[in-house]
Structure 1
Amino acid sequence: MTTIRIDSVSRWFGNVVAVNDVTMAIGPGVTGLLGPNGAGKSTLINMMAGFLAPSTGAVTLDGVRIWRNEQVYKHIGLVPEREAMYDFLTGREFVRANAELHGLGRAAAQKALATVEMEYAQNRRIGTYSKGMRQRVKMASALVHEPDVLLLDEPFNGMDPRQRMHLMDLLRSMGAAGRTVLFSSHILEEVEQLAAHIEVVVAGRHAASGDFRKIRRLMTDRPHHYAVRSSDDRALASALIADPSTAGLELDQRDGILHVQAVDFARFTALLPRVARDHGIRLYEVSPSDESLESVFSYLVAA
């Protein structure tokens, strides 16, 4: 059972706090690290990989500190988000170079390239690769020594649908085999398809942890804000405010939009069309006004 533990970790760059007093444990299986862009996901992954020291706290692999401990690299594979690669090398040369760093030979490199379906392009220079191909050759490099822990920073960026499905299947199989797999994403659907367990970070803080379905329900049950345009906003507002599924309404006289705060999502979505029908009101527009991931995560932090 290989586990990475982050204990009361903070990391700052000058006056900027990138990670603020985070504690979490990443064990066997597939874990999603979810958060909006700039939340501190990459900083956390770089500390787990041993490429960045925590300003305070400790990051350990099975109880052993990772920072400045080259022995942990036998057990960790990293797929970084950054595209800093040797474009003059072929894919095969790039992966084989990493194999040699681990004391491995050509067979290990070929196996890793085959695993990510990059054999067909292994003799092309990396400078000619698409973003999706670069992602896959980085993956091969991270897998060449068959690590117990795989850390991936936004691994699906630039991949086409077929490549994404192949990578998802690969990560699922690794998690099912008992490896510790952590991948970061700012896209809720990616995490939903792949990870049963998630860790949510917002603005450097640990916002939520646990089973994806439980946290997804919390996201769904949070207050929702809607912008509604109708043929009779005043009559609609009078009917809606009487129901406990709404907590507040405001009519913007300038643009004729009714702003509604719903505290019971399921009840409100059934109520609105029924009220409109019963009162002979036509609904021209119903749109969520706070559905960004940032607003979802901000609610989780405050919950």
Structure 2
Amino acid sequence: MTELVLSNVSRWYGNVVAVNDVSMTIRPGVTGLLGPNGAGKSTLIAMMSGFLEPSAGEVTLGGEAVWRHVAAYRQLGLVPEREVSFSYLTGRQFVQASAELHRLPDPRAATRHAVEEVDLLDAADRPISTYSKGMRQRVKLASALVHEPQVLLLDEPFNGVDPRQRLHLMELLTRMGEQGRTVLFSSHILEEVEHIARHVEVVVSGRHAASGDFGAIRRLMTDRPTHYTVRSSDDRALAAVLMRQPSVRSVALAAPGGTEEVQVEVTDMGEFARALPSLSRDAGITVRELVPTDESLESVFTYLVQS
């Protein structure tokens, strides 16, 4: 199994610390790397890909150090955030140059396959200088995929990609993760991460803030109020019962779309979850639906950044 392991990794530039003592393991599947601008995401990806030496700590792939390890580079594919600088080349030439650098046995066939994977075949023979920002993103991805790496690292891969192509790339990354490849990507569009990467790594101010399933991370935040929507056989009676519970901060009746519901804010999610079944049963009320309304990745990320 191909695992990318960061062990107490730091990177500094003079007196500026970009990444501070980060340890994490990136396993097969799709992982989202989250953090505000300047959090150290790009620096982390550069060290994971072997393009930047850690000032302290080590990055390993399959137990071998990545820095200055040529064999490891053959298993890695990198899509950097920066723009392609060889804009005078056609998309096909750019991808084929990567195939030839990797000394693939049939660079032309590998190039065609990679270009087709990112849905850029129709524009493959146009100069990159004529490409839109989204097309440039896709040609970078094709270049990273041409040697079929086991590990793919993408820095803001959806920047400038139109909705149709964004969906195509999301499906491609999901499929690669399902095939057992290790895929890590950073994105500032949190909804995209939530749709394709259940596992997240969060960095804030160069430090590792959280790791794991985003729902599990959310459940660890017991000091933050949690919001639920509850629908039952008697919403008004249920609201009255809940208002007397110590774990409930506020209760409101609402009727979005004409359907009545109870909106509850709780301070202790575990206590509320344990108490609700017995409370409703004792009151003769049937709970039909219980839905957390603030468990989106955006909510989790905002809380972590503010903390």
TM superposition score normalised by structure 1? 0.76
How is 1:133-282 mapped onto 2 (pairs within 5 angstroms)? 133-218=135-220, 222-223=224-225, 263=267
Q: Say which of 272, 287, 304 aligns to 1:297.
A: 304
Q: Say which of 122, 134, 154 aligns to 1:120.
A: 122
Structure 1: tracts of 5 or more residues without a match: 225-239, 248-260, 268-290
**Contact kept in structure 1, 2:90 and 2:125, CA below 8 Å:** yes
Give the deviation of 1:186 after TM superposition: 2.3
Distance 1:220 1:96 in 2: 52
Give secondary structure in 2 for the equivalent of 1:171.
Answer: helix
**Contact kept in structure 1, 2:59 and 2:67, CA below 8 Å:** yes
Distance 1:103 1:16 in 2: 39
**Contact kept in structure 1, 2:95 and 2:142, CA below 8 Å:** yes
Residue aligning to 2:27: 27
Question: 1:100 and 1:220, CA in 2 relative to 1: closer, same or farther beyond 3 A?
Answer: farther
Query: Match of 1:178, as an amino acid?
Result: G
**Contact kept in structure 2, 1:36 and 1:294, CA below 8 Å:** no
Distance 2:192 2:218 in 1: 13
Give secondary structure in 2 for the equivalent of 1:124.
Answer: coil
Residue aligning to 1:257: none
Residue aligning to 1:103: 103
Distance 2:186 2:117 in 1: 21
Structure 2: tracts of 5 or more residues without a match: 227-242, 251-264, 273-297
Aligned residue pairs: how many?
A: 249
Give the deviation of 1:43 after TM superposition: 0.4
Question: 1:293 and 1:223, CA in 2 relative to 1: closer, same or farther beyond 3 A?
Answer: same
Distance 1:123 1:71 in 2: 31
**Contact kept in structure 2, 1:195 and 1:212, CA below 8 Å:** no
Distance 2:42 2:300 in 1: 17
Distance 2:54 2:221 in 1: 30
Query: Match of 1:204, as an amino acid?
Result: G
Distance 2:162 2:149 in 1: 26
Distance 2:151 2:205 in 1: 26
Distance 1:222 1:295 in 2: 12
Residue aligning to 2:77: 77
Query: Match of 2:63, as an amino acid?
Result: G
**Contact kept in structure 1, 2:151 and 2:181, CA below 8 Å:** yes
Divergent runs of 4+, >3 A: 216-221, 243-247, 261-265, 291-295
Summarize deviations over 1:247-272 as a string: whole Å, max 9, x none: 9xxxxxxxxxxxxx98579x9xxxxx
Residue aligning to 1:10: 10
Give secondary structure in 2 for the equivalent of 1:52.
Answer: coil
Distance 1:157 1:293 in 2: 22
Summarize deviations over 1:204-249 as a string: whole Å, max 9, x none: 000111112212445697259xxxxxxxxxxxxxxx9xx87559xx
Distance 1:216 1:293 in 2: 6
How is 1:21-100 mapped onto 2 (pairs within 5 angstroms)? 21-100=21-100
Question: 1:295 and 1:197, CA in 2 relative to 1: closer, same or farther beyond 3 A?
Answer: closer
**Contact kept in structure 1, 2:79 and 2:140, CA below 8 Å:** yes
Question: 1:220 and 1:107, CA in 2 relative to 1: closer, same or farther beyond 3 A?
Answer: farther
Distance 1:264 1:10 in 2: 36
Residue aligning to 1:130: 132
Give the deviation of 1:49 after TM superposition: 0.3
Query: Match of 1:75, as an amino acid?
Result: Q
Distance 2:189 2:218 in 1: 13
Query: Match of 2:303, as an amino acid?
Result: V
Query: Match of 1:40, as an amino acid?
Result: G
Distance 1:114 1:220 in 2: 47
Question: 1:92 and 1:7, CA in 2 relative to 1: closer, same or farther beyond 3 A?
Answer: same
- RMSD value, Cα: 2.6
Summarize deviations over 1:271-292 as a string: whole Å, max 9, x none: xxxxxxxxxxxxxxxxxxxx88
Give secondary structure in 1 for the equivalent of 2:44.
Answer: helix
Distance 2:65 2:205 in 1: 25
Query: Match of 1:296, as an amino acid?
Result: Y
Question: 1:128 and 1:207, CA in 2 relative to 1: closer, same or farther beyond 3 A?
Answer: same
Question: 1:122 and 1:26, CA in 2 relative to 1: closer, same or farther beyond 3 A?
Answer: same
Question: 1:71 and 1:170, CA in 2 relative to 1: closer, same or farther beyond 3 A?
Answer: same
| Same amino acid, percent of matched pairs | 65
Question: 1:213 and 1:107, CA in 2 relative to 1: closer, same or farther beyond 3 A?
Answer: same
Distance 2:133 2:223 in 1: 37
